[in-house]
Structure 1
């Protein structure tokens, strides 16, 4: 069964398109990707098929009947519309060929997709037409094969399983025959090739890439990108399948929820430039990071390999997009505090107040939003669009939602939920370690259900194959020794592992106790070791001025690190967890889980005292084998 993007065809598709969609899905191989009406460089080919042993095929779909056709030739078709008027259009085969050439020209700019000894793509590309209301016998009677050769045509009886002439083998064979240039190689497209094709054709799925130096070829400059990273197909499908009305995305830490949300913003802004879009989250640092990510996606040229585009970066109009953390939005747009929300909701109910209106609203960290916050936000949603996207992870929940979303905001998400269960952020070792801790300590472990999307079940994460060192755990006699170890480890990682300071974070639970200032010890130690740092959570102003890419170590509370990630994370003073003044221990369990899953590759857990959590870590140390460790050595 082929992989479809989107996974279900939109409601406005024609009957013929639906039949073709289901046939391609059912009968093409499982490693084929099929896009329905993707937007590529301002055009929308009906179907784009990518297959490892196929290459790339573009299909143009027409629902013409015998009565529709008036006069046709190789170049132009004159058609009779439903009103009886005659209209002239380009030949369907020419339309398909032009779309294929557009895609070919786009992909040929990347030298990694071009043959070494020529300027052709290293894989075949083809094109064809599908006539959903004409059968092969109609083509023969009307002499249509004289205008379009049989190899470039699929008729109704070749795509519809309900027709007695239909054969899956013939369907596959014909799609494999829609080429003007033949290539006999097998296994033509590697996973890297397919990722590169998606990267260039669909800007919204990009995560990152680096440029390789340009090389000259004949009279043209060929560029290439390496370390290309795109969303996986499931993430892409969710971003594109969200469709109309309200949607809920639930995902594990590191599954790309925020990335899907940012891509969704770009797609909506492109499709509806006049829409007012609101993006909200809970934490201030995440709101800054989210704003940077969204602006970067909006500003990024579709064609990264076009030197002119790169040099004169076009700035899309994004003044219609607002990105805030919730309390900032309350203050700036409604001039109020959260304690005043119940009064405003009552006034809105009595039609005695007006709130700003948005055509689309997206909420990250939705698990931390109080029911009345969600209720207020939903009151600001344009009833005509009902485009609300709620993104959440129950295992990261700081506050507990006691009622259902239907009760909170009057919207029922049953059948409108999607799950992202694969953790892409962390190594397999970090994912497993954090999840083991969560399962042992969470009071919600009976809520853990594989693949559940309704209610408040926790989704167990699945890790990627990316490996790394086990989390490093170490206890010390005092905070000075602890911080000396942290600073020496950072120096080692920076100098020996070439890790930039901006990719390192130190997370703490409390900044001081009645007898010691932890934050002073952190800062003093880093200064002694000549390590530049930014205390992100020093004040509201420092949170608002947070710049993720500033080349400094980031010092932050665990709370404020939500939604962010770093190659290296140190969680210190773990003896302060669970915090004695926190009434709900479950919140502390979630916080520690959040902190650990901020780490992409290296996780260091240190402490110089005792608590329930450090006792667990001591038990892990004792349980580890005495074999040589793969942890980094420092100092």
Structure 2
């Protein structure tokens, strides 16, 4: 039994009474030819005329054999006739209706030469002669006693009497004849069969345009984020509140919007966070709001102490960050009441110690009644402090339960590393996470450069929408040379977006995001907090580069690596 492409006649063809002849030939070729034959049914092709114009055609059947070559077959049902003076071909069906048809011999011949030309265009095709023949099957016509014309000897045709011996006719067509110049037995060979299959029945999957996906998914995420802003209106009458949620639920954007609304209302507002890079990013976004003071927490402490003329701690150890700088902040607002704020908005509250939050609250002109909002991540897997201060802060708390930043695929990727209040992804489905496996860790820089060149070049993704994050140090990293990665300018997180691609550590990128994240050195990514941060930073596309064990550990989740 021959191998058929498609495996069976499509239902719409089988139900069409005008294609009964094709169905009959399909079944006989399938049942009569041995298994080393491949038969392709209803194969269209597109070619060019000598003048460069497009021409198209269709081969009813292409029968291919590795040792014997290929045969193109045209099938015409009904009673077929031709007028010699006009070269007009017609077919009369069983209802007596006559239809004009194309010259089947010419159709088969043209398709044969078109396929030969297409084969020669294949990149791995070895130049050689191949037995290529054409023929016509007329299953409703009886065999005539003489040739149909100089260019139409009877051996080109199979008639109704030949249907039960169609395999023998195919073998004969691919064998020796007296009037055909090409030699028989010049088969396609294994490579030719592969090339023929690529031409006529290859599987393919076209990747969506990444630039288009970024635009469409980005617009959907922006729409969802605008909807989230409506929440602030419903909470407007609650002066002090803790707002919790996992990565992507919009905490930073809500904190930013809350601070801007308070500033537009004429209040002196402090917007602060833990991460220095995020603080710089927020400060740049709010540069047009003079009533807003924006800085990371420890930068704020140093700035306020300087403004008050207070002495800054001289050390730089853990004690300085834990208590001395926060104490300097309190001293500053005690010495200068004008430095106090009408409202304080805190992002990344999960990273703040209780004494830091206390210091910030005491920066309010009215610590008990002033506006004090803390936005924090409730992921119990990664943030180990008790959070008692946050629980006691407001008379009410508000949980965010919709992930608005990440596509569904990215949300599911980071979800195993999250243990908190259940969140659901409201974003678009998105593209699959790309796990790029390398044999050796040393191979990662080359793979990242190649992928980055493809994104910024062929895919036309603006470099400013891409961040390359490492779990190692950026100083002396083999990926970056002279402030560029593969010829593309790069800079640290929180800098000028015109610097192009962000290249920074996962830790410094906390609280930030980009449409595309390329994650490398994942062998060093062992802290659950940083894994959670790393996997949840992209909004549209996540690419993770590493060895097989490292990728499996991130993909499978905690306790499964």
Matched, 1:254 2:248: yes
**In the alignment, what sits opposite 1:170?**
none
Residues 226 and 426 of structure 1: CA distance in aligned 2, closer, same or farther (over 3 Å):
closer
- Contact 1:487 1:526 (8 Å CA) reproduced: no
The answer as to whether partners of 1:571 and 1:606 remain within 8 angstroms in 2 is yes
- Check if 1:577 corresponds to 2:534: no
| Structure 1 position 235, deviation (Å) | 3.6
User: Out of 353, 376, 393, which is 1:412 matched to?
Assistant: 393
Q: Quote the offset at 1:573 in angstroms.
A: 0.9
Q: CA deviation at 1:474?
A: 2.7
Partners of 1:342 and 1:371 lie apart in 2 by 11
Deviations along 1:184-217, one digit per CA (max 9) or x if unpaired, are xxxxxxxxxxxxxxxxxxxxxxxxx99xxxxxxx
Select 1:332's aligned residue among 287, 297, 303.
303
Secondary structure of 2:518 counterpart: strand
What is residue 596 of structure 1 aligned with on the other side?
535
Displacement of 1:238 in angstroms is 2.9
- Contact residue 239 and residue 260 of structure 1 kept, 8 A: no
Aligned to 1:469: 431
Q: Indicate how the Cα distance of structure 1 residues 475 and 526 shifts in structure 2: closer, same or farther if over 3 A, else same.
A: farther
Report the CA distance shift for 1:239/1:606 in structure 2 as closer, same or farther (over 3 A): farther
In the TM superposition, what whole-angstrom CA distance separates every residue of 1:363-385 from its partner, at most 9, and x where no partner exists? 01010011111111111112274
- Once the 2 structures are TM-superposed, how far is the Cα of residue 293 of structure 1 from its aligned partner? 2.6
1:555 is aligned to 2:497 = no
Change (3 A) 1:483 1:396: farther
- CA change 1:371–1:228 in 2 (3 A) is closer
User: Which residue pairs with 1:424 in the alignment?
Assistant: 404
- RMSD of the alignment, in Å? 3.5
Flag the 1:320–1:482 CA change in 2: closer, same or farther, 3 A: same
1:617 positional shift:
4.5
Mapped to 1, the partners of 2:502 and 2:402 lie a distance apart of 27
Match of 1:360 among 332, 343, 359: 343
Aligned to 1:489, what secondary structure does the other structure show?
helix
Paired position in structure 2 for 1:616: 553
Alpha-carbon shift at residue 406 of structure 1 (Å): 6.1
For 1:239-280, what per-residue CA distance to the aligned partner results, in whole angstroms no more than 9, with x for missing partners?
A: 552324211111221122122122212221222x2x221111
Match runs of 1:144-543 below 5 Å: 229=223, 231-271=225-265, 273=266, 275-295=267-287, 299=288, 318-335=289-306, 336-337=312-313, 339=319, 342=323, 356-383=339-366, 385-395=369-379, 400-405=384-389, 412-414=393-395, 416-436=396-416, 438=417, 448=419, 458-511=420-473, 519-524=476-481, 527=484, 529-536=486-493
Native 8 Å contact 2:242 2:390 kept in 1:
no
Distance 2:525 2:449 in 1: 22
Distance 1:494 1:422 in 2: 31
- Determine if contact 2:279/2:294 at 8 Å carries over to the other structure: yes
Does the 8 A contact of 1:244 with 1:385 survive in 2?
no
Instruction: Give the deviation of 1:330 after TM superposition.
Output: 0.9
Q: Higher mean Cα deviation, 482-491 or 226-235?
A: 226-235
Distance 1:497 1:467, change over 3 A: farther
Greater gyration radius: 2
Aligned partners of 1:396 and 1:594 also within 8 Å: no
Distance 1:533 1:342 in 2: 35
Shift of 1:398: 6.2
Aligned to 1:520, what secondary structure does the other structure show? coil
Measured in 1, the distance between the counterparts of 2:347 and 2:353 equals: 13
Structure-1 separation of matches of 2:319 and 2:470: 29
Q: TM-score scaled by structure 2?
A: 0.52
**Per-residue deviation at 1:608?**
4.2
Structure 1 Cα separation of the partners of residues 380 and 498 of structure 2: 27
Cα deviations by residue, 1:411-456 (Å, 9 ceiling, x for unpaired): 5324x211211111111001001102x15xxxxxxxx4xxxxxxxx
- Between the two proteins, the alignment pairs up a number of residues equal to 328
TM-score w.r.t. structure 1 length? 0.47
Residues 398 and 590 of structure 1 are in contact (CA less than 8 Å); yes or no, is this contact kept in structure 2? yes
Distance in 2 separating the partners of 1:601 and 1:406: 32
Following superposition, the deviation at residue 528 of structure 1 comes to 7.0
Unaligned runs of 5+ in 1: 1-208, 211-224, 300-317, 440-447, 449-457, 537-542, 579-587, 624-635
Alpha-carbon distance in structure 2 between the residues aligned to 1:468 and 1:236: 25
Work out the CA distance in 2 between the residues paired with 1:345 and 1:563. Answer: 25
* 1:565 match: 513
Whole-angstrom distance in 2 between the partners of 1:418 and 1:554:
33
For residue 498 of structure 2, give the secondary structure of its aligned residue in structure 1: coil
